[in-house]
Structure 1
């Protein structure tokens, strides 16, 4: 069960620095995820495992590379840190890597939506239990970003994630403040 925490890192899991939320048509990772971002999410597997978590994200943009550090706090008290590195490869595309991702994750943006797919070892220390995440991130009118992901193994669904990102101090998700 503990291994499923790595599956949660698909934020990509999860991802820059205006003082106001970006308009839906202007969604880019470097604009939305630069600086501080917070998130709440859940992971549900077909075997009955359910985990809730919060994430504090810090993004740094250098004009070509977004480094996005994710500090996870799980409902069982455990913690984890993952770091995405997104290289901008075009006006509407990135290539993302992370320590537990196998290879690179190509990211495509269209309007207010980003889509990407990548392989992850749920047990990275032994390189076992390989699954694929199929992420869809949508910048919503209220300035939040909703990330939903289907997790598959051998092409069959095995889990789902839902993560809601927001910039602190902008809008409300109706949930508790995570500062």
Structure 2
């Protein structure tokens, strides 16, 4: 009896460590199609929290997005709470089966993503300037379409497997 309880507790513990998969959201609605959502002007508000959860930076972003078939350009203009500005231009490609790839000047290599239901998981390495140096950090980016106008985004940042912090964003697509 004791052994069964230990095995059951161990199985529950391992199940609790299982990370979500994008396929877990396949039945969720509304369905996320990046071409439909990121089309036109999109406004965003976000925070960066360090590994302790303390907000270290707030920002807004205005995106101008265009698509020609399966090729998209997402032009992001960030304004940070300290007054600094940054621009990132994503060149995104829609592939079969809900997959996406993307490139930007400060992205190392290619970003890869998969959409299912209302969710998209997007992974890439970002060349992040920190105190005069450039760190290559891994971005595990999750997007969830809440309605035809609202999308929530949460990104975990890590380096060498060590959690550095998170970016949390709320997007609103202009009508």
Q: What is the TM-score with the length of structure 2 in the denominator?
A: 0.77
User: What is residue 113 of structure 1 aligned with on the other side?
Assistant: 119
Q: 1:142 to 1:67 in 2, by over 3 A?
A: closer
Higher CA-based Rg: 2
Which structure 1 segments of 5+ residues have no match? 1-22, 170-179
Instruction: Give the aligned partner of residue 37 of structure 1.
Output: 42
Residues 154-174 of structure 1, C-alpha deviations (whole Å, 9 max, x = no match)? 0110010001001125xxxxx
Q: Is structure 2 residue 95 aligned with structure 1 residue 89? A: yes
Whole-Å Cα distance in 1 between the matches of residues 30 and 112 of structure 2?
20
Q: Which has the larger helix fraction?
A: 2
TM-score computed with the length of structure 1 as normaliser: 0.75
Cα deviation code 1:107-154 (max 9, x no counterpart): 100100000111111139x87311100000000147310000100010
The whole-number CA distance in structure 1 between the counterparts of 2:69 and 2:85 is 30
The C-alpha deviation readout for 1:7-41, integer Å capped at 9, x for no partner, is xxxxxxxxxxxxxxxx9333111100110000000
Q: Is the 8 A contact 1:73 1:80 kept in 2?
A: yes
CA distance in 2, matches of 1:157, 1:137: 19
Residue of structure 2 aligned with 1:104, choices 110, 114, 125: 110
CA RMSD of superposed structures (Å): 2.0
Note the residue ranges of structure 2 that are not aligned, 5 or more in a row.
1-27
Q: How far apart are 1:49 and its partner, in Å?
A: 6.5
Partner of 2:11: none
Residues 1:28 and 2:51 aligned together = no
Give, in whole Å, the separation in 1 of the partners of 2:166 and 2:145: 19
Residue 53 of structure 1 corresponds to: 59
The secondary structure found in structure 1 opposite 2:95 is: strand
On the 8 A contact 2:125/2:139 being kept in 1, the answer is yes
